[in-house]
Amino acid sequence: TLQNLIDRIAAGTLRNVEIVLVIGSKPSAKGLQRATTAGIKAELVASKDFKVDGKQDWPSMSSRVCELLAQDRVDLVVLAGYMCLFIVPPELENKVINVHPSLIPAFCGQGMYGERVHQAVVARGVKVTGCTVHYVTNEYDA
């Protein structure tokens, strides 16, 4: 998804759009590599660094992400391949979208992400598929 956006911007078919920041939760995230290659600022906010008593601390991680977004004055957040819970602050309500690699409600829910979705679609023999883009709220998987 990120590479497609980068390519469309470069080709001039996606106008008035600038990707100012890419945030990844793992050092191996391809998005971080693609951003760096394209000259886009890339930041790692490692999910492994946000744990309390062995449990993921999503509020603290989300706060760090929001700090970075505010520094770069981001006005739209696209979660594409971002597999961490992001708590949307009031100032970003209706400004965060998620790209899910299937037509929801098919092929969604626990364990349905990335390549797993595509494998499930092929295994089921589905003839028509696509992606779903939706606003992110603080109601998980709403």
In 3D, which of 61, 17, 14 has the Cα closest to residue 40?
Answer: 17
R_g (Cα) of the chain, nearest Å: 16
Long-range Cβ contact pairs of 124-131 (< 8 A, separation 24 or more):
128/103, 129/102, 129/103, 130/102, 130/103, 131/99, 131/100, 131/101, 131/102, 131/103
* Residue 118 annotated in active site: no
Active-site position among 100, 101, 102, 121 = 100
Helix (H) / strand (E) containing 124: helix 115-124
Angle of helix 30-37 relative to helix 2-11, nearest 10 degrees? Answer: 20
In contact, 93 and 119? CB cutoff 8 Å: no
Could you give the residue numbers annotated as active site?
100
